[in-house]
Structure 1
Amino acid sequence: MLSVIPFSLVLGAQAIQKGMRTGEISLLTAVNFAGGSEFVAVNLWTSPPHLILIALMTLLVNSRHILMSAALTPYLKDLPRRKVLSALFLMCDESWALAFTDAKNSPKQKFSYYFYLGAGIGLYVVWVGFTTVGALIGPVIGDVTHYGFDMAFVAVFLVLLKGMWKGFTAALPWLVSLLAAIAGYLFLPGAWYVLLGTISGLTVAFIMAAYD
């Protein structure tokens, strides 16, 4: 939760610099709990905003959530719908990774719904709250990226990858996904590199599983 504070401040400050109001960025983070797509939305923000373009880019960036939620399905299938929907709303990269790491480290390899829910709610409150703080203090402190706060976004994902590391062979889909995403970022417009990286990594994982 502490680790998301720096880049939530960055998001809030950037939103104000783009002409958004504090209430607008607070509402955006509260409704669409997915940091990567929110950075895309803020970077694309104009007055008036191109809502269709923002929606399409949000869909692309959040496409990885389809795979993440599919991985959660076996653990949620016996829960009532209201709990399933709340769990999926609170799903982000950090809460998802924390829950699976907790299950892996538990004596019975059991997924804890309430641990996942607690992590998700905590991250949600911190994310929305400190994005709002970033919007409020952004005009005072200026460009917060000068302090290196934006590096926190990358650092969090490196830590998540380390926690899921199972050896080089198992990480081949990650490597292919990374290379495909870099190529897409360099040669394709918009956020198509996210979808390209996702599909490439998934394809390699499927092939490896088929020949295992």
Structure 2
Amino acid sequence: MSDMTMPVADNRAEFFRGLRVSVPVLLGFIPFGLLLGSQAGMKGFSPLEIALMTGFNFAGGSEFLVIQLWTWPPAIPLLVALTMLVNSRHVLMGATLAPTMRHLPRRKVLPALALMCDECWALGLDDARKRGGVLSFPFYLGLSVGLYLSWPTSAAIGAAVGPSLGDVTRYGFHMAFPAVFLVMIFGMWTGFRAARPWFVSLVIGALTYLAVPGPWYVPAGALSGLLAAYLWARSE
């Protein structure tokens, strides 16, 4: 049964199922959001400013990069270019999720894509595959809403209290996001063949980090992963 004809009670149950599935990831979001907010607060961002940035962008990797590179006056063209580059992975993510949403009207597809982040994409795609390649929009909405609200909220709290705490990485908060990604990779693992672009991105990013000063490892890892994915897809 499609989401368009699903009874209201089923829609509600699917929404809360998505909300429940999001809880383990949400618990990883909160410490990482606190860390981002703390670093932003020490750069002069107010809780409202970091909440707006994380709410409109909703992509942690590029936000951490922006905070690390933030100066006054800010180099806006550089920050915009790097944000677009890091977030360019969302183009591929949206392309892989789109076939699971063919049964949905555009008024539902566009909000779903707007709320997409790495974790929403991975969990939503995994659930759609279990349902025969069909995305449950109420499930995805419940999944996304919990994660979306927790991110700017935790970042704002971090900006408010972080500067008074000093370097919060000593509490181990920075390990939350890598742990979440490792769990996601384990859950979606189908073999090394599908993970080759990630491996290329990891190796190139690590080598660039060791060899080149500054944040160039971020675009190097992103571009090499995208190029590897394109070349392998074209050859196959």
1:1-212 alignment runs, 5 A limit: 1-106=26-131, 108-187=132-211, 190=216, 191-203=218-230, 205-206=232-233, 210=236
More helix by share: 2
Q: How many residues align?
A: 208
Tell me how far apart the structure 1 counterparts of residues 168 and 31 of structure 2 sit (CA, whole Å): 9
| SS of residue paired to 1:102 | helix
TM-score, normalised via structure 2 length: 0.81
Residue 187 of structure 1, CA deviation: 4.4
Residue 128 of structure 1, CA deviation: 1.0
Encode CA deviations 1:164-196: one digit per residue, 9 max, x unaligned. 111234333332232233234444553322332
Tell me how far apart the structure 2 counterparts of residues 48 and 170 of structure 1 sit (CA, whole Å): 42
Residue 82 of structure 1, CA deviation: 2.7
Q: Which runs of 5+ in 1 are unaligned?
A: none
Shift in CA distance, 173/47, structure 1 to aligned 2, threshold 3 Å:
closer
1:184/1:192 contact within 8 Å kept = no
Shift in CA distance, 80/158, structure 1 to aligned 2, threshold 3 Å:
same
Report the residue type matching 1:33 in the other structure: F
Tell which deviates more after alignment, 44-53 or 71-80. 71-80
TM-score, normalised via structure 1 length: 0.89
Report the residue type matching 1:157 in the other structure: F
Shift in CA distance, 112/122, structure 1 to aligned 2, threshold 3 Å:
same
Tell me how far apart the structure 1 counterparts of residues 208 and 101 of structure 2 sit (CA, whole Å): 34
Residue 59 of structure 1, CA deviation: 0.6
2:62/2:86 contact within 8 Å kept = yes
Residue 111 of structure 1, CA deviation: 2.0
Q: Which runs of 5+ in 2 are unaligned?
A: 1-25
Note the aligned Cα RMSD (angstroms): 1.9
Shift in CA distance, 75/170, structure 1 to aligned 2, threshold 3 Å:
closer
Q: Identity across aligned pairs (percent)?
A: 50
Shift in CA distance, 57/10, structure 1 to aligned 2, threshold 3 Å:
same
2:198/2:225 contact within 8 Å kept = no
Report the residue type matching 1:137 in the other structure: V
